[in-house]
Structure 1
Amino acid sequence: MTRKKYVFLILILGSLTALGPFSIDMYLPGFTAIAKYLHTSTDQVALSLSSYFIGISAGQLLYGPLLDRFGRKRPLYFGLSLYIVASVGCFFSTSLEMLIIMRFFQAIGSCAASVAAMAMVRDLFPVEDNAKVFSLLILVLGASPMLAPTIGSYITAAFEWQVIFLILTVIAALILLAVIFALPESYQPDPSYSLKPRPIIGNFLQVLKNPQFLTYSLCGAFAFAGLFAYVSSSSIIFIEVFKVSQKGFGWIFAGLSVGFIGSSQVNSLLMKKYKSEQLVNASLIWMVFISAVFLIGSLNGWFGIGGTIAMIFGVLCGVGISYPNTAALSLAPFTKNAGSASALVGAFQMAIGALASIGITLIKSHSPLPMAGVMAASAVVALLVLLIGKRFIKDKVEAKADASVMAH
């Protein structure tokens, strides 16, 4: 594979991966404007974020079997088309209920992009290169938290909030054109793959029986929940608690994303010297430590806005290291069931992420405490899952990066 083709594939797959997060981050600064337009509260508008998480979690399982049965591109066509239609529905929403429903279907559509991208990494690149490719995808994915809230804040300030969904529609249409004309089909349709419930459930169970998959997909999902805790409560903490302006919030969100993106790229360098398994161990221990400091400090009122940003930055650095390695180790054992495996990885992430979002609302405190508490709890559970699960892995499949891959 030439360097030019390699980079081009990363850009397309990265765009597919980023579509869902971009759809989340871009409208966060518009919560107040949406609440005012729909005559409701920001807490109620947040239900449209919850419905999006639920849609993504359900959609992950829907597309896994479809990707294995029909190849990668046909389900992508359907999902991106559904996303475009739902985005138009969000644009024309005149009630909170309509917005919540349209966001659900928007999420179902975006799932095709994220699940297909993960499966195509496994299809197009050697297994030993997967962790490095996932790190590169995060570099493209990082455009979402860096650009989306900032763009959303300026759009909300200059235009009506509906323009956000108009822009998302255009972005999805451009990605669809790139998929149609520039992305190769990486997996031939398998007519023998049954779409009846029993065989589909059987395939998922077969994936779940793999100790390496179960261990790393679950610990990765709990670690990733720290990012969901941040996204779910960031606008409330910075805009309502610390009284930051909408535009200021966009810039803070963008700055904090450097922790997630930068550490994922440092991961590519670390993989020249260390195995994915070692990096997962170190990143989870770091996340437990820094989130514990964040929780203790929040309970005692140690942190102002600067300290809070520093603690969040530390947690996001841990997520940036753990994510590409847990994803690569989860998918490494699979070839035939890669679509189902990637769907389960995504479903675990979104389901546990949705629980993290709900957990934020259960801690009644107008401070960073809910975010810190959920981050600490998810980090501890992630480390426990790893320590217990590793005992059951007998035939581990390595997922290490080849430092020379970019030259081929």
Structure 2
Amino acid sequence: MSAPPSPAADPAAMSPGFVVLALALLLGLQPVATDLYLPALPALTTGFGAAMSQAQLTLTALLLAFGVSQMVWGPLSDRFGRRPILLIGLGAFVAASVGSALADSMEQLIGWRALQGAALGAAVMCARAIVRDLYAPAEGARFMSRGLTGLGVIACCSAPLGGLSSDLLGWRAALLLIGVFGAVTLAIVAWRFRETVRQPNPQALQPRVLITNWLRIARHPTFRAYALLATASYGGLFTYLAASSFVFIQVLGLSKTQYGLVMFTMSLSYIGGTVLCRRLLTRLGVRRTVAVAGALSLAGGSTMGLLALAGVQSVWAVVLPFYLFMVAHGIHQPCGQSGAVAPFPQSAGAASALAGLVMMVTAFAMGSWLGHSMASFGPGQGSVLPLTNGIWFWGVLCALCAWTLVRRHGDAPAAPLPAASTAP
């Protein structure tokens, strides 16, 4: 009697084009959950009569739950496969989005946003792990770059759509649109996505194996190099996301629609960075590509910070330098996210989860600092300095990671499997 077939479907049934589409939709849930509601953030804060610190919690609570939840979703996906985790996570994301739109208080909204973040963790974690399931490290960076180009297109549409819907229909409409995007993604995944884990790991949820895997991953120099690079780059983006709506709308006097258009141009620069990434990878390899991006991060962050310290407080003094940072972000993220999981073909879910946790805990800490720094902001009041100094800091850190850690450890071989995972 022959052995039963593997529960994993043949991933070859998915065309490369569909894989890129799936990556774009799954990764794109993150900017949809953040960028689309940002133009409405000042309005919903006023509508609930809430403090600035509470408004920041609608973003930071989502991101903290997003990061922590991946530590659960990662091992679950290594054990049971990516597809069931995606279906559960996407279903919960849609439900939480509807709950957010119907919230009666800021406390309820923060709770629904935290649940939304936990569900979001399943989608983004699985997307990073799928790349490692299907592709070797070098090819994985190029496919991740293509998926992140799609994320950039989605982000381009998110902020303008959020600003327009908030202006015409109110801030609840912006929150409801997040659920519409999640429902479309859920339908496409349920219809066409095939399992990419060929051999699920039956030991992935055993406590001893979990602890061994976490330690093995955290100690690997390649993981640390790329995870810290991706974290520093995302730290700069999150600083912009958390502070920019208040800086541009309340300090610099833009309308919500104008702010949405500014966000649109930022997404275009990010898309340009992902396209540049693919070309540089072919010519320079991963480590030299990341080094070039480190120079762009440093130039953008330092220019923004120095202009602000010199007293130049205008839209263009913030926007133009941040274009450089976003081009670099379009290079750092595909290289960092794929590089962090590359040494762990048998534990891609766990590695993806740990990298995501580091990024989101960092974002939560940055959001808490920004909420405190900007607590006194009101219409026509405040300063650009919390925004510009934060991005300056992350630009310097990106360059240091690129020129030291990635340069030394960026091409390390795959980590050996722990003894426990090879037991029959």
TM-score, normalised relative to structure 2: 0.88
Confirm or deny: 8 A CA contact 1:76 1:112 kept in the other structure: yes
Confirm or deny: 8 A CA contact 1:26 1:152 kept in the other structure: yes
Other structure's SS at 1:184 match = coil
Aligned-CA RMSD value: 2.3
Confirm or deny: 8 A CA contact 2:61 2:364 kept in the other structure: no
CA distance in 2, matches of 1:391, 1:141: 27
Report how far residue 33 of structure 1 moved: 2.5
Match of 1:404 in 2: none
Q: Does 2:424 correspond to 1:383?
A: no
After TM superposition, the structure 1 = structure 2 runs for residues 12-91 of structure 1, keeping only pairs within 5 Å, are 12-91=22-101
CA distance in 2, matches of 1:91, 1:254: 23
Identity across aligned pairs (percent)? 26
Confirm or deny: 8 A CA contact 1:359 1:374 kept in the other structure: no
Confirm or deny: 8 A CA contact 1:280 1:325 kept in the other structure: yes
Report how far residue 214 of structure 1 moved: 1.1
Confirm or deny: 8 A CA contact 2:78 2:201 kept in the other structure: no
Q: Does 2:339 correspond to 1:323?
A: no
CA distance in 2, matches of 1:295, 1:359: 17
CA distance in 1, matches of 2:13, 2:118: 33
Q: Figure out how many residues of one structure are paired with residues of the other and give that number.
A: 398
Report how far residue 368 of structure 1 moved: 2.1
Report how far residue 387 of structure 1 moved: 4.8
Report how far residue 251 of structure 1 moved: 0.6
Confirm or deny: 8 A CA contact 1:207 1:213 kept in the other structure: yes
TM-score, normalised relative to structure 1: 0.91
Q: Does 2:255 correspond to 1:241?
A: no
Q: Which moved more, 1:204-213 or 1:245-254?
A: 204-213
Alpha carbons of structure 1 residues 125 and 148: separation in structure 2 relative to 1, 3 Å: same
Q: Which moved more, 1:31-40 or 1:101-110?
A: 31-40
Confirm or deny: 8 A CA contact 1:87 1:106 kept in the other structure: yes
1:140 partner letter: G
Alpha carbons of structure 1 residues 120 and 281: separation in structure 2 relative to 1, 3 Å: same
Report how far residue 328 of structure 1 moved: 2.4
Report how far residue 31 of structure 1 moved: 1.6
Alpha carbons of structure 1 residues 269 and 231: separation in structure 2 relative to 1, 3 Å: same
After TM superposition, the structure 1 = structure 2 runs for residues 84-123 of structure 1, keeping only pairs within 5 Å, are 84-123=94-133
CA distance in 2, matches of 1:384, 1:395: 17
CA distance in 1, matches of 2:37, 2:360: 19
Q: Which moved more, 1:50-59 or 1:375-384?
A: 375-384
User: Could you report, residue by residue, the CA deviation over 1:169-199 in whole angstroms, capped at 9, with x for unpaired residues?
Assistant: 2221221121112011000463522424332
Confirm or deny: 8 A CA contact 2:294 2:403 kept in the other structure: no
Match of 1:202 in 2: 212
Alpha carbons of structure 1 residues 58 and 251: separation in structure 2 relative to 1, 3 Å: same
Structure 2 counterpart of 1:371, from 387, 399, 402: 387
CA distance in 2, matches of 1:391, 1:46: 36
Other structure's SS at 1:142 match = helix
Alpha carbons of structure 1 residues 189 and 171: separation in structure 2 relative to 1, 3 Å: farther
Structure 2 counterpart of 1:354, from 364, 381, 385: 364
2:122 partner letter: A
After TM superposition, the structure 1 = structure 2 runs for residues 286-365 of structure 1, keeping only pairs within 5 Å, are 286-363=296-373
Other structure's SS at 1:272 match = helix
Report how far residue 2 of structure 1 moved: 9.3
Match of 1:264 in 2: 274
Match of 1:403 in 2: none
Q: Which moved more, 1:238-247 or 1:216-225?
A: 216-225
Structure 2 counterpart of 1:284, from 294, 300, 318: 294
1:165 partner letter: L
Confirm or deny: 8 A CA contact 1:361 1:370 kept in the other structure: no
User: Could you report, residue by residue, the CA deviation over 1:10-31 in whole angstroms, capped at 9, with x for unpaired residues?
Assistant: 1112101111221111111112
Confirm or deny: 8 A CA contact 2:14 2:194 kept in the other structure: no
CA distance in 1, matches of 2:403, 2:295: 11
Report how far residue 331 of structure 1 moved: 2.0
Report how far residue 148 of structure 1 moved: 0.9
Unaligned runs of 5+ in 2: 1-10, 415-424
CA distance in 2, matches of 1:250, 1:158: 14
Match of 2:164 in 1: 154
Confirm or deny: 8 A CA contact 1:70 1:189 kept in the other structure: no
Q: Which moved more, 1:103-112 or 1:12-21?
A: 12-21
CA distance in 1, matches of 2:294, 2:125: 25
Other structure's SS at 2:284 match = coil
CA distance in 2, matches of 1:390, 1:20: 26
2:290 partner letter: V
Alpha carbons of structure 1 residues 214 and 163: separation in structure 2 relative to 1, 3 Å: same
CA distance in 2, matches of 1:298, 1:12: 40
Match of 1:8 in 2: 18
Report how far residue 390 of structure 1 moved: 5.2
Confirm or deny: 8 A CA contact 1:12 1:179 kept in the other structure: yes
Report how far residue 285 of structure 1 moved: 2.6
After TM superposition, the structure 1 = structure 2 runs for residues 165-176 of structure 1, keeping only pairs within 5 Å, are 165-176=175-186
1:396 partner letter: A
Alpha carbons of structure 1 residues 264 and 96: separation in structure 2 relative to 1, 3 Å: same
CA distance in 1, matches of 2:218, 2:118: 23
CA distance in 1, matches of 2:47, 2:370: 25
Report how far residue 230 of structure 1 moved: 0.9
Match of 2:420 in 1: none
2:347 partner letter: N
Alpha carbons of structure 1 residues 275 and 395: separation in structure 2 relative to 1, 3 Å: closer
CA distance in 2, matches of 1:125, 1:395: 16
Q: Does 2:153 correspond to 1:143?
A: yes
Q: Which moved more, 1:166-175 or 1:116-125?
A: 166-175
